[in-house]
């Protein structure tokens, strides 16, 4: 789930300053192992270098630190320039320690508290993802293209696995991309996803009833038990990296457009389209001629998914799959997208606000948002 988080730039704006790296009073720097781990973690935070990370993870993961993952935060945690304070370092097994640290702003507002593991390899410590420590005793099941990792008491349904596989293969065929192995983690709920990633606390914890995340560098999917094994929306994000020049509104839209009953926050796209329609009827002042500016409705619907899906629908109606792929290859910026829509999609006397509003009304009153590309 990747959307613009405009409010972060306002609420958590960071001035230009030097980061500080400190330890809590209870962290015993007289202990040689503890001191080494403190130096290791702080050296990594200053450099983001894989030299401080376990080789087993840097060899196998394109993004070796899953805390450094966009989608949870945009930009990712390691790119905000927060101060960091190590709260504790506790031994959890022989030669294995848990680092708990706090990321905060200069004004001491707490942004996140994270868990990272330090493992002794030979005579030196290396960092490791908490994700693999917490899920090491979970079950795993492999289908052809998807590896599922889930808690022992979770009932993994074969029909959902089959649906996910078929959807994934259809997706790749439609967009002419080669399938790659996906690793699909199923957590209890949204907060549990944060937990297994290593976020003991993050400012957005407790705010989402339903969610999902795709980490494109590693092809990791994080879904809830409610979403199950066939979270079509997150699987769709696999194609994003193959279209680096696509506007994110179109990629957001296509993920909702073809995701059936799991388009956005566990609800079908028609549900959200009706809500956006009702909202727009009450707010005639909203101008959809700049569609990326309409990003706020409420906690149950992000209108960007509806607007993006409607844009994809208009493009497909105009020129089918070939035209949609053309749009994906030529709309990187807001200006690019508007130029494309005005030159390729809108008729001479049409304006985008009117066209989008009319299409939203039509879909909302039809009780069905039928996609024109994948059935």
Q: Where are the domains of the chain?
A: 6-129, 135-242, 245-375
The predicted structure's pLDDT at residue 375: 63
Contact 372, 313 (CB under 8 A): yes
For residue 168, pLDDT over 70 is answered with yes
The predicted structure's pLDDT at residue 18: 61
CATH number of 6-129: 3.10.450
The predicted structure's pLDDT at residue 312: 97
Q: How far is 113 from 102, CA to CA, in rounded Å?
A: 4
Q: Which residues touch 349 (CB under 8 Å, ≥6 apart)?
A: none
For residue 11, pLDDT over 80 is answered with no
CATH number of 135-242: 3.40.30.160
Per-residue pLDDT reduced to its tens digit, 231-249: 999 999 999 999 999 999 9
Region 13-25: what's the mean pLDDT? Answer: 72
Contact 246, 329 (CB under 8 A): yes
For residue 261, pLDDT over 60 is answered with yes
pLDDT higher for 83 or 79?
A: 83
Whether the domain at 6-129 and the domain at 135-242 fall into the same CATH topology: no
Region 262-286: what's the mean pLDDT? Answer: 94
352-366 and 269-282 helices, crossing angle to 10°: 130
The answer, yes or no, to whether the previous bond of 75 is cis (omega within 30 of 0) is yes
Which residue stretches of the chain are H helix? 6-11, 32-47, 55-60, 130-134, 158-174, 190-197, 232-236, 248-257, 269-282, 303-328, 334-340, 352-366
pLDDT higher for 227 or 15?
A: 227
Per-residue pLDDT reduced to its tens digit, 188-223: 999 999 999 999 999 889 888 889 999 999 999 999
Q: What percent of the chain has pLDDT over 70?
A: 95
pLDDT higher for 79 or 315?
A: 315
Q: Is 44 helix (H, G, I), strand (E, B) or coil?
A: helix
Beta bridge partners of 264: 267
Q: Cα–Cα distances in Å, from 203 out to 68, 106, 117? A: 16, 16, 22
Contact 44, 127 (CB under 8 A): yes
Residue 26 pLDDT level (bands cut at 50, 70, 90): very high
Q: How far is 297 from 255, CA to CA, in rounded Å?
A: 19
Distance of CA 308 to the CA centre of its chain: 17
- Which of 223-232, 264-273, 327-336 bottoms out in mean pLDDT, i.e. has the lowest? 264-273
Mean pLDDT, rounded, of the chain: 92
The predicted structure's pLDDT at residue 121: 86
For residue 8, pLDDT over 80 is answered with no
The predicted structure's pLDDT at residue 7: 38
The predicted structure's pLDDT at residue 192: 97
């Amino acid at each position: 789930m990747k959307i613009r988080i405009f409010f972060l730039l306002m609420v958590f704006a960071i001035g230009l300053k030097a980061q500080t790296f400190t330890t809590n009073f209870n962290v015993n720097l007289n202990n040689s192992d503890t001191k080494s781990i403190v130096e290791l973690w702080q050296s990594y935070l200053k450099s983001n270098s894989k030299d401080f990370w376990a080789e087993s993870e840097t060899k196998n993961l394109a993004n070796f630190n899953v805390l450094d993952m966009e989608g949870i935060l945009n930009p990712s945690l390691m790119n905000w320039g927060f101060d960091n304070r190590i709260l504790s370092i506790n031994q959890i097994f022989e030669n294995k320690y848990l680092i708990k640290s706090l990321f905060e702003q200069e004004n001491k507002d707490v942004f996140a508290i994270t868990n990272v593991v330090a493992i002794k390899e030979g005579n030196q410590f290396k960092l490791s993802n908490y994700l693999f420590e917490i899920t090491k005793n979970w079950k795993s099941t492999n289908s052809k293209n998807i590896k599922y990792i889930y808690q022992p008491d979770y009932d993994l349904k074969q029909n959902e696995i089959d649906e996910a596989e078929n959807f994934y293969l259809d997706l790749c065929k439609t967009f002419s991309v080669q399938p790659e192995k996906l690793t699909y983690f199923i957590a209890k709920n949204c907060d549990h996803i944060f937990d297994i990633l290593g976020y003991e606390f993050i400012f957005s914890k407790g705010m989402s009833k339903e969610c999902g995340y795709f980490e494109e560098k590693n092809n990791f999917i994080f879904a809830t038990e409610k979403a199950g094994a066939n979270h079509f929306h997150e699987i769709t994000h696999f194609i994003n990296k193959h279209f680096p020049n696509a506007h994110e509104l179109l990629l957001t839209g296509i993920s909702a457009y073809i995701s059936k009953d799991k388009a956005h926050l566990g609800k079908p796209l028609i549900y959200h389209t009706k809500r956006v329609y009702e909202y727009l009827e009450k707010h005639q002042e909203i101008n959809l001629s700049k569609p990326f500016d309409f990003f706020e409705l409420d906690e149950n619907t992000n209108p960007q998914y509806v607007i993006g899906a409607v844009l994809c629908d208009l493009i497909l109606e105009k020129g089918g799959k070939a035209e949609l792929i053309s749009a994906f290859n030529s709309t990187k910026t807001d200006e690019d997208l508007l130029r494309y829509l005005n030159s390729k999609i809108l008729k001479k006397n049409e304006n985008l606000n009117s066209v989008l509003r009319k299409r939203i009304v039509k879909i909302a009153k039809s009780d069905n948002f039928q996609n024109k590309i994948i059935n």
